[in-house]
Amino acid sequence: MKRSSLALIVSFVFILIASRAAAAGEVIFPENFLWGAATSSYQVEGGIYGNDWAEFEKRPGVITNGDKCGAACDHYNRYAEDIKLAKELNLKIFRMSVEWARIEPVEGRFDEKELAHYRAVIDEVRRNGLIPFVTVFHFCLPRWLADKGGFTNPQSHVYFERYAAYLAKNLGDQIDFWTTQNETMVYLTSGYLLGIWAPGHKNPVLMWRALANLIKSHAKAYGAIKLNDISDADGDGTAAAVGIVMNYGIFDPYDPKSTANVIMADKVNYFGNHLLLDSLMGKSTRIKELAPETGERILFLPEYKNTLDFIGVNYYTRFFVRPSITKPIAGMEMFTKSRAAAHSGQPFETNEMGWLIYPEGIYRAVKAIARYGVPIYITENGIPDKTAKKRARFISDHLVWLKKAIDEGVLVKSYIHWALTDNFEWAEGFWPRFGLYDVDYSTKKRSLNEGGAFYSEVARNNGLNAPMMRSVYGAESAHDDKIKRDRLFDRNSQ
């Protein structure tokens, strides 16, 4: 079947879905669905200099515009203000992380003052009626561990287990939702394979070694949190739900008629989206295809099985993939806007960072993750938007697709937007503006933007009510026999 014909058929199906939503006049989520916003310690707190990212930033040319995280958003001193701002958005979840370098600045020596600080933050979250959703590791290692090789060190799982146990023992009475790691595979590929993030390696051998240790670290931390967090903070009968956060990318073949492209896209999809989860849920030994000599022995151990109570899904974009001999490290190319458009002859909308805007991807992601049989939490989804005028459409488009998956039986429990405020976006520095609140970095003033105001209404109404749908998609109704072709499905089903 020709690509254009397939696109037309799929577009027609999506028009029917849009029509159905328009006819209903609303897209309302299940009762007790949780709306939230996300932060992470290094990106917002400021004043963190004892980790590997602060060291990495000293290398010339690694951060756009030579930015240094420095004071960031000064969230460390303004956390009460930011938590109040989250509450004012009608949210229920405040996603955050704890900075390992603050808690354990020297190997084996824990800082009680910093522990007290995070306890105060979490107390403030709860005092404002929000649920703390806490990440143990969000990309940054204390310098002492980085000096030992980070997650390539065979003892790294011991250090990670000790750190997770300390947090669970001392903060667990206030926390019921834990994620051990954020975007493990992105961290590995960016930091160990491509060298664009700390620790800056371009070595596939080190990447596989770190992967094995990160999987083991998660499993050990899972057990440590379960053992040490025995307090049911919210009274739901579960003292600690422990998961991991995956960035789910949509990887499609650049040329669907090319067997090599199809095979490469399939392998990239498995490596990036399912290898880790298969290991932690004991679902597959397909790893033999990627690392036949050591894969099953080091990545699929019985003690790793069923160490996930839920899966956090971050979703942002879609990639078109093909093999490449000019990319010897990754062995592939992943094209976004310009090359994809040139190949297909069809337009692709992108965000300010050049990522394809593809709302259907959130549907495809949760449908694929549903195979693991545990609840799914959307832990990040967002758009860099310096005008904040595209955010309402972006959120709406993704929520329409997410609700479709829920209606089909996928157990999705939350939508957590990235990010509460503008922040330091790793190698991109400060220029991308993901926040529901704009941040003036010279004064640290927060200002609610247009997209943030819209999202506040989403949370207040538990979805998109009829006036909100009309504001985004126009005045379609059940009585309109010529429902306007909805751009959401037209532009994404290609």
Residues marked active site are found at: 183, 380
**Residue 337 tokens, joined:** 């806007």
| Length of the chain (residues) | 494
Q: How far is residue 350's CA from residue 369's CA, in Å, rounded to a whole number?
A: 25
Do the Cβ atoms of 213 and 156 come closer than 8 Å? yes
For residue 23, cis peptide bond before it (omega within 30 degrees of 0):
no
Is residue 284 a contact partner of residue 274, using CB atoms and an 8 Å limit? yes
Tell me, letter by letter, the H, E, C secondary structure of the chain.
CCHHHHHHHHHHHHHHHHHHHHHHCCEECCCCCEEEEECCHHHHCCCCCCEHHHHHCCCCCCCHHHCCCCCCCCHHHHHHHHHHHHHHCCCCEEEEECCHHHHCCECCECCHHHHHHHHHHHHHHHHCCCEEEEEEECCCCEHHHHCCCHHHCCCHHHHHHHHHHHHHHHHHHHCCEEEEEECHHHHHHHHHHCCCCCCCCCCHHHHHHHHHHHHHHHHHHHHHHHHHCCCCCCCCCCCCEEEEEEECCEEEECCCCCHHHHHHHHHHHHHHHHHHHHHHHCCCCHHHHCCCCCHHHHHCCHHHCCCCCEEEEECCCEEEEEECCCCCCCCEEEECHHHHHHHHCCCCCECCCCCECCCHHHHHHHHHHHHHCCCEEEEECCCCCCCCCCHHHHHHHHHHHHHHHHHCCCCEEEEEECCCECCCCHHHCCCCCCCCEEEECCCCEEEECHHHHHHHHHHHHCEECHHHHHHHHCCCCCCCCCCCCCHHHHHHCC
Residue type, 468: M
Strand 241-247 relative to strand 250-253: parallel, antiparallel, unpaired?
A: unpaired
